[in-house]
Structure 1
Amino acid sequence: MTCNASQRPETSLGNRTLVRRCALSALLLFAASVTAVAAAPEKRQAAQETPAAIGGFAGGAKLQLRWELQRNVFTEQAPHGRTQARFILVNGDSRPLPPRGWSLYFNSMDGMPSGALPGGLLLEEVAGGYFRLRPGPGFAGLAPGGTLDIGYQYPHLLVKLAHAPAGPYLVYDAAPDAAMAIADFQLLPVTRLEQLDRGGSGAHALATPADTYRRNLRADVLPADAVPPVLPTPLQFEAGAGRLVLSGRPTIVAAPSLGTEAALARSLFPASLPAGGPALRLGVGTVPGQASPEAYRLTIRAASGIDIVGNSAAGVAYGLQTLRDLLPLPGAAEAALAEVAIIDAPRFGYRGFQLDVGRNFHGKETVFKWLDLMARYKLNKFHFHLTEDEGWRLEIAGLPELTAIGAVRGHSAKPGVRLQPAYGSGPDPRDARGSGYYSRADYIEIVRYAAARHIEVIPEIEMPGHARAAVQAMEARYHRLKAAGSKDADRFLLNDLGDRSVYKSAQFYDDNVINPGLESSFTFIDHVVAQVAALHREAGAPLRTIHMGGDELPEGAWEQSPASRALMTKIGLETTADLWDYFYDRVDGIVRRHGLFASGWEEMASRKTRLGGRNKLIPNPRFTGRGFSAYVWNNVGGAEDLAYRLANGGYDVVLAPVTKMYLDMAHNANPEEPGVNWGAYVELDNVYDFIPFDYLKNAGDAARLGKDGLTDYGKRRVRGIEATLFTETVRDAGLIDYLVMPRLLAVAERAWAPDPAWATEPDAARAATLHRAAWSGFVNALGRRVLPRLDLERTGVAYRIAPPGLLVDGGRVLVNHVLPGMTLRYTSDGTVPTAASRLVAGPIAERGTIRVAAFDRNGRAGLAASVEHR
Structure 2
Amino acid sequence: MRETMKSMSIKSIAALLLACGALSAQAAPEQVKMRWEVLRTELNPQGNRTHARLSVTALRGQSLPAQGWSLYFNCMEGVLTGPLPGHLVLEQVAGGSLFRVRPTAGFKGLPAGRTLNVDYDYPGLIIKMARAPLGPYLVFDAAPDVAYAVSDFQLQLPTRPEQLKRPAGRNTLVTPQDVYQHNARADVLPATALPPLFPTPLALKAGTGRVQLLRAPQVISGPGLQNETAFARSLFARYLPQGDTSRAAVPLRLRIGAVDGQVSPEAYELTIDANDGINIIGNTAAGVARGLQSLHDLLPLPSDAVQIELPELEITDAPRFAYRGFQLDVARNFQPKDVVFKTLDLMAAYKLNKLHFHITDDEGWRLEIAGLPELTTIGAVRGHSAKEGVRLPPTYGSGPRADDPHGSGFYTRADYIEILRYAAARHIDVIPEIEIPGHARAAVKAMEARYRRMQAAGEQGAAKYLLNDFDDRSVYKSPQEYTDHVINPGLESSYAFIEQVVSQVASLYREAGVPLKTMHMGGDELPHGAWEQSPVSRALMQKEKLTTTADLWDYFYNRVDGILRKHGLYSSGWEEMGARRSAQEGGQQQPNPRFTQRGFSLYVWNNTPGNEDFAYRLANAGYDIVLAPVTNMYLDMAANPNPEEPGVNWGAYVELDTVYDFKPFGASLTDTGRRHIRGIEATLFSETIRDASRLDYLMMPRLLAVAERAWAADPAWAQEPDATRAAALHRAAWSGFVNVLGQRVLPRLDLERGDVRYRIAPPGMVVEGGKVLVNHALPGLTLRYTTDGSTPTIRSKVFIGPITARGVIQAAAFDRTGRAGLVARIVNR
TM-score by length of 2: 0.96
Say whether residues 1:648 and 2:615 are aligned partners: no
Contact 1:351–1:380 (CA under 8 A) maintained in structure 2: yes
Q: Which amino acid aligns with 2:356?
A: H
Pairing of 1:42-441 with structure 2 (within 5 A): 46=8, 54-55=16-17, 61-74=30-43, 81-126=48-93, 127-200=95-168, 202-269=169-236, 270=238, 271-274=240-243, 275=245, 276-331=248-303, 335-441=308-414
Cα distance 1:409–1:644, how it changes in 2: closer, same or farther (>3 A)?
Answer: same
Contact 2:177–2:766 (CA under 8 A) maintained in structure 1: yes
Deviation of 1:73 (Å) = 2.5
CA–CA separation in structure 1 for the residues paired with 2:528 and 2:562: 25
2:779 corresponds in structure 1 to: 820
CA–CA separation in structure 2 for the residues paired with 1:70 and 1:362: 34
Contact 1:47–1:53 (CA under 8 A) maintained in structure 2: no
Q: Which amino acid aligns with 2:526?
A: L
Contact 1:179–1:411 (CA under 8 A) maintained in structure 2: yes
Contact 1:352–1:722 (CA under 8 A) maintained in structure 2: yes
Deviation of 1:303 (Å) = 1.6
CA–CA separation in structure 1 for the residues paired with 2:504 and 2:49: 50
Pairing of 1:451-466 with structure 2 (within 5 A): 451-466=424-439
Contact 1:550–1:602 (CA under 8 A) maintained in structure 2: yes
CA–CA separation in structure 2 for the residues paired with 1:180 and 1:53: 11
CA–CA separation in structure 1 for the residues paired with 2:457 and 2:727: 72
Say whether residues 1:753 and 2:712 are aligned partners: yes
Deviation of 1:42 (Å) = 10
SS of the residue corresponding to residue 110 of structure 2 reads coil
Q: Which amino acid aligns with 1:808?
A: V
Pairing of 1:534-545 with structure 2 (within 5 A): 534-545=507-518
CA–CA separation in structure 1 for the residues paired with 2:48 and 2:147: 37
CA–CA separation in structure 2 for the residues paired with 1:53 and 1:187: 27
Say whether residues 1:639 and 2:611 are aligned partners: yes
Deviation of 1:60 (Å) = 7.3
Contact 1:47–1:98 (CA under 8 A) maintained in structure 2: no
Say whether residues 1:528 and 2:482 are aligned partners: no
2:601 corresponds in structure 1 to: 629
Give per-residue Cα distances to partners, 1:796-855, cap 9 Å, x unaligned.
Answer: 111111110000112100110011111000001111111110010111111111000001
CA–CA separation in structure 1 for the residues paired with 2:364 and 2:685: 13
Pairing of 1:387-786 with structure 2 (within 5 A): 387-610=360-583, 614-694=586-666, 709-786=668-745
Cα distance 1:92–1:285, how it changes in 2: closer, same or farther (>3 A)?
Answer: same
CA–CA separation in structure 2 for the residues paired with 1:125 and 1:859: 44
SS of the residue corresponding to residue 391 of structure 2 reads coil
CA–CA separation in structure 1 for the residues paired with 2:13 and 2:113: 22
Structure 1 runs of 4+ with >3 Å offset: 41-48, 50-60
Q: Which amino acid aligns with 1:317?
A: A
Give per-residue Cα distances to partners, 1:215-248, cap 9 Å, x unaligned.
Answer: 0010001122210011110000011100000110
Give per-residue Cα distances to partners, 1:104-136, cap 9 Å, x unaligned.
Answer: 111110223442222211221112111111111
Give per-residue Cα distances to partners, 1:348-389, cap 9 Å, x unaligned.
Answer: 100000000000000110000011111110000010000010
SS of the residue corresponding to residue 175 of structure 1 reads coil
1:12 corresponds in structure 2 to: none
Q: Which amino acid aligns with 1:830?
A: G
1:868 corresponds in structure 2 to: 827
> How many percent identity over aligned positions?
65
CA–CA separation in structure 1 for the residues paired with 2:15 and 2:514: 61
Contact 1:444–1:535 (CA under 8 A) maintained in structure 2: yes
CA–CA separation in structure 2 for the residues paired with 1:501 and 1:299: 64
Q: Which amino acid aligns with 2:127?
A: V
Give per-residue Cα distances to partners, 1:387-409, cap 9 Å, x unaligned.
Answer: 01000000000100000000000
Deviation of 1:197 (Å) = 2.3
CA–CA separation in structure 2 for the residues paired with 1:645 and 1:850: 52
Deviation of 1:56 (Å) = 6.0
Q: Which amino acid aligns with 2:685?
A: F
SS of the residue corresponding to residue 177 of structure 1 reads coil
CA–CA separation in structure 1 for the residues paired with 2:13 and 2:212: 82
CA–CA separation in structure 2 for the residues paired with 1:213 and 1:835: 22
Contact 1:651–1:717 (CA under 8 A) maintained in structure 2: yes
Cα distance 1:44–1:391, how it changes in 2: closer, same or farther (>3 A)?
Answer: farther
CA–CA separation in structure 2 for the residues paired with 1:265 and 1:354: 28
Contact 1:81–1:199 (CA under 8 A) maintained in structure 2: no
Q: Which amino acid aligns with 1:292?
A: S
TM-score by length of 1: 0.91
CA–CA separation in structure 2 for the residues paired with 1:123 and 1:688: 44
In structure 1, the gaps of 5 or more residues are 1-40, 695-707
Give per-residue Cα distances to partners, 1:177-212, cap 9 Å, x unaligned.
Answer: 111101111111211222122253x42211110000
CA–CA separation in structure 2 for the residues paired with 1:493 and 1:220: 61
Cα distance 1:150–1:534, how it changes in 2: closer, same or farther (>3 A)?
Answer: same
Give per-residue Cα distances to partners, 1:764-810, cap 9 Å, x unaligned.
Answer: 01000000000000001000111111111134111111110000112
SS of the residue corresponding to residue 473 of structure 1 reads helix
Aligned residues: 812
Deviation of 1:674 (Å) = 0.6
Deviation of 1:45 (Å) = 5.3
Contact 1:803–1:854 (CA under 8 A) maintained in structure 2: yes
Contact 1:251–1:278 (CA under 8 A) maintained in structure 2: yes
Give per-residue Cα distances to partners, 1:523-552, cap 9 Å, x unaligned.
Answer: 000000000000001101121000000000
Cα distance 1:300–1:332, how it changes in 2: closer, same or farther (>3 A)?
Answer: farther
Cα distance 1:95–1:281, how it changes in 2: closer, same or farther (>3 A)?
Answer: closer
2:23 corresponds in structure 1 to: none
Contact 2:375–2:447 (CA under 8 A) maintained in structure 1: yes
Q: Which amino acid aligns with 1:156?
A: G
Pairing of 1:35-46 with structure 2 (within 5 A): 46=8
Q: Which amino acid aligns with 2:320?
A: R
Deviation of 1:152 (Å) = 2.4
Deviation of 1:564 (Å) = 0.6
Give per-residue Cα distances to partners, 1:473-529, cap 9 Å, x unaligned.
Answer: 000000000011123100000000111111111100000000000000000000000
SS of the residue corresponding to residue 785 of structure 1 reads helix
Deviation of 1:46 (Å) = 4.1
CA–CA separation in structure 1 for the residues paired with 2:81 and 2:459: 39
Give per-residue Cα distances to partners, 1:431-453, cap 9 Å, x unaligned.
Answer: 00000000000000000110010
SS of the residue corresponding to residue 582 of structure 2 reads strand
CA–CA separation in structure 1 for the residues paired with 2:425 and 2:754: 19
Deviation of 1:467 (Å) = 0.2
CA–CA separation in structure 1 for the residues paired with 2:4 and 2:370: 59
Contact 1:65–1:184 (CA under 8 A) maintained in structure 2: yes
Q: Which amino acid aligns with 1:691?
A: K
| Larger CA deviation: 523-532 vs 115-124 | 115-124
CA–CA separation in structure 1 for the residues paired with 2:43 and 2:518: 51
